[in-house]
Amino acid sequence: MADYGKIEVTATYSKKSDFSSPRAVFKPDAYNPTTGPDEYDVYLVDTTATVNTTKYDSIMAVVVKNNDATNSVTVAFQNAAASAQSQVLAAGKVAVFPDVLPSANLTLTASSGTIECEVFVMGS
């Protein structure tokens, strides 16, 4: 019998602290992760920010949302084969990275100015 897995990600993004008028809905609740080591955080990237992934034994996926209206952010990480990977995430876009090596941190680099990024790490 084969093992199967499914990742379902929906997000709640709102400019208001009470999350009224959300642009999308997030499951599990991004602001109160379910039990376990899953982690959600907001990073202000003025040049480079590091997301600590070394506390995980394995990572199922990392979701990054660039909240900036005009500037891009480069997301750099190592995949499970320990090969360096990077992707430019355009303004306002979301990306899911399913193959992140926990022992090498994920790095966010701003193209210009200070960029706010939301990061959700799903791991154990």
Q: In this predicted model, what pLDDT tens digit does every residue of 79-123 receive, in sequence order?
A: 888 899 999 999 999 999 988 999 999 999 999 988 888 888 888
Q: How far apart are CA 37 and CA 98, in angstroms?
A: 17
Most distant CA pair in the chain, distance = 51
pLDDT at 1 over 70: no
3-state helix, strand, coil in the chain (%, to 5): 0, 40, 60
Supply the pTM of this predicted model. Answer: 0.70
Tally of residues, the chain: 124
pLDDT in tens, 22-76: 554 444 454 444 445 567 667 778 788 898 888 888 888 899 999 999 999 999 9
Distance, C-alpha 28 to centroid of its chain: 14
Domains of the chain, first to last: 39-123 (2.60.120.10)
Q: How far apart are CA 115 and CA 98, in angstroms?
A: 23
